[in-house]
Amino acid sequence: MSTGHILLGLLTERPKHGYELKREHDERLPGARPLAYGQVYATLQRLERDGRVAVAGTVQEAGPERTVYEITEEGTAEVRRWLAEVEPPAPYVSSPLFSRVVMALVAEGAADTYLLRQRAAHLERMRELTARKRAAGVSVGELLAADYALHHLDADLRWMETARQRIDDLIQEIRS
């Protein structure tokens, strides 16, 4: 996912300034890492340089004057191209969880303790997300983000159980 594509997508609705784009990103993509203001403006500058957005004017609300950006035809075409692409499944196992299990075996000769602590952390996060889903006033976007995270945590828990079942074989493989 590219921040530029997200900002272009948000600009398809109407012209907006950077603070508005940051706020909408954070509201519409709950659970995603919030954007830093500097990242928004640096990305807008690159998009303008590349002809995907243009300055539509300035506005002054309660605070300082703000530059408003609008998407160009080239920007709209880029959003459509990006949305037409299929997100490729990850070709490599790059999970820190997997790496820590292997390194626990290499460095300490055991990973059970680590896996049990990690399992507890995952279950706690799942309880937090489930509670958030039940809270009053939760948006559909927040529900979908929580569901996405819960499914990934559940998959991690299933993988941890498989790893615990195969740990002795993995130890033998590492030591040979």
For residue 111, being part of any structural domain is answered with: yes
Cα–Cα dist 98/136, whole Å: 36
- CB-based contact 3:43 (threshold 8 Å): yes
pLDDT confidence of residue 18: 94
Mean pLDDT rounded to a whole number for the chain: 89
- Dihedrals phi, psi of 71, to nearest 5 degrees: -80, 145
Identify the sign of the CA torsion 147, 149, 152, 157.
negative
Q: Which domain holds residue 119?
A: 96-175
> In 3-state terms, the chain is what percent helix, strand and coil (to 5)?
65, 10, 25
Q: Which of 111, 89, 85 is nearest to 174 (CA)?
A: 111
Higher model confidence: residue 109 or residue 34?
34
Query: Would you state the pLDDT for residue 16?
Result: 95
Residues 119 and 103: their CA atoms lie apart, in Å, by 17
Quick one: pLDDT band at residue 128, thresholds 50, 70, 90? very high
Residue 149 · residue 31 · CB < 8 Å: yes
Rounded CA separation 34/36 (Å):
7
Question: How many domains are there within the chain?
Answer: 2
Give the mean pLDDT of 123-134. 94
pLDDT band at 3 (very low <50, low <70, confident <90, very high): very high
64-112, pLDDT tens digit by residue? Answer: 889 999 999 999 999 999 998 877 776 666 678 887 887 787 777 788 8
| Cα-based distances in Å from 8 to 22, 50, 124, 138 | 12, 12, 36, 26
Among candidate residues 26, 61, 84, the one where a domain is terminated: 84
Do 138 and 111 fall within a single domain? yes
Whether the pLDDT of residue 1 is over 60: the answer is no
Find the CATH number of the domain harbouring 41. Answer: 1.10.10.10
Residue 129 pLDDT > 60, yes or no?
yes
For residue 90, tell me if it sits in a domain. no
**pLDDT for the residue 114:** 87
Of 19-23, 91-95, 142-146, 157-161, which gets the smallest average pLDDT? Answer: 91-95
Structure confidence at residue 22 (pLDDT): 95
Q: Are residues 108 and 141 in the same domain?
A: yes
